Structures are given as structure tokens and as C-alpha cells.
Amino acid sequence: MALTLESPPNAPTLLGLSRQRRSSARRPFNADVELVSPVAGGGVTLNASEGGLRVAVDCPLAAGEICLLYVREGGSPERLERARVAWSRELRDGWIAGLQLIGLH
């Protein structure tokens, strides 16, 4: 019997992208991010989809955490967002994470 090693269906791939099919495509999105909760930190967005953001930040985020963050795009006013951390991975100089936007309810 051959043993094969497979990642779980929702595990991040090498690029930090989920194996799950998303309902909308990613698009480039450049904005500053300021995390307010559960930790304070900063970073930038890498891309966005209909319901989420991929971010590079200077503080650790754990999958499942609920975050409050400000998003500032260019000269636009900052927006307060609430998001669930879908996945997170530590890099040499920070963390990269996928955030699912869930509203401020």
C-alpha cells in the first residue's frame, strides 16, 4: 500500500491561497491596513475579492480570529471593517493572511 501525503482541502497552498473555489475572482487592491483588534498592527492589502482581502501585516493573526481593521485606499476616507481570519502564515518579515469580511453587526 502506497502512502500519499495530502493537505487538508482548506489548507493554504504555497502562495497562501485556499484550495476552496471562491465565488468571485481576486483583483489587485492596494490599501493601507491598520489592525485595531485582537492585536494592534499595520500592513497593506495585496488583493481583494467580493467578500475578502489578502493582507500582509506586521503582527500575528490566527485562523478563526475576528478582527477589526481600518482600510485606507489612496485619498479615500478610511473604512472600519470586521473580518474573520480564514488562514494565516508567518513569513520572514511578517505575516500574510486571508480575511473574510463579515460586516460590523
Q: State the pLDDT at residue 83.
A: 97
Residue 75 confidence class, pLDDT cut points 50, 70, 90: confident
Q: What CATH code is assigned to 27-101?
A: 2.40.10.220
**pLDDT mean across residues, the chain:** 82
- 78-98 pLDDT, tens digit per residue, is 999 999 999 999 999 999 999
Ordered by start, the domain boundaries in the chain are 27-101
Q: State the pLDDT at residue 7.
A: 36
| Cis peptide, bond prior to residue 8, ω within 30 of zero | no
pTM for the model: 0.74
Rounded Cα–Cα distance for residues 43 and 95 (Å): 9
Q: List, in sequence order, every residue forming a beta bridge with 74; answer none if it has no partner.
A: none
Q: State the pLDDT at residue 65.
A: 97
Residue whose C-alpha cell is 502564515: 89
